[in-house]
Amino acid sequence: MAGAAVVMTASRASALPALQFRWIADGVYMHVSWFSSSHGVVSSNGLVIRGQDRLLFVDTPCSMAQTEEMLGRILEHADKRLVITHAHDDRMAGLPAMQACGISSLAHQTTVAAAVERQQGTIDEAWSGAAHILDIGGRKVELYHPGPAHTTDNTVVYIEDCALLYGACLVRALDRTNLGGLGSADVCRWPQAIRALQMRYSRARIVVPGHGDPGGLGLLSHTLALAEAEGARLNCGGTSPSP
């Protein structure tokens, strides 16, 4: 399957590409959906994690239609659950489709509040604090809130047995040359959040960004460099540049 780091110009993309699944670790698949932006048609990643008798979705595809297609293609496992990493449409546009199928949703309390405030939907359950552990059919999955970056509520997901870190939009793919949309971002604290991930998940072998191809820990250092450069441009240190 072709890599997920795809951006097509509007002239090449009169319709959205089909939903894709990409195997990235034992029992872990990346779902790749698509949305239209001012830059063209952009791919967006989420995860499907299979446990012994449970299944966890991490973020929904970018639309109700793509979410319904995903659910129609995953028929086994009666026990399904959804984790949402932050309250943006590319993470939770398909929430109503999930709820219509009886799939419960979970997010950090700041994401639950942000989703209500932005009228994006009501997430079923909230977790609080810096970290929360899930048992997905015998697999340990950690949810972690490293602090504000792409959004104030952004969280990541770590699967211990395959050392996979899903950074969502907090982490940028290697071919991205900027931090992406900054409308909800805290650029000045983004480097601190990335350093927290580097310390906590130093043994990660696979790192999955919100958009683009997975890689290794180099995605964190790449994102840190982008965040530091943008922070310097915005004078996050508070010191006026020399004349």
Residue 174, classified by CB atoms within 10 Å of its CB into exposed (0-12), middle (13-18) or buried (19+), is middle
83 backbone dihedrals φ, ψ, rounded to 5°: -115, 135
Domain with residues 7-233, CATH architecture: 4-Layer Sandwich (3.60)
Length in residues, the chain: 243
Its pTM stands at 0.91
> For 221-225, what is the mean pLDDT?
98
Domain coordinates in residue numbering, the chain: 7-233
Q: Which amino acid is at 27?
A: G
Per-residue pLDDT band for 238 (boundaries 50, 70, 90) equals low
Per-residue pLDDT band for 15 (boundaries 50, 70, 90) equals confident
Render pLDDT for 172-198 as a digit per residue (tens, 0 to 9).
999 999 999 999 999 999 999 999 999
Render pLDDT for 51-78 as a digit per residue (tens, 0 to 9).
988 999 999 999 999 999 999 988 776 7
> For 196-217, what is the mean pLDDT?
98
pLDDT: which is higher, 238 or 166: 166
- Rounded to 10 deg, the angle between the 218-233 and 190-200 helix axes is 160
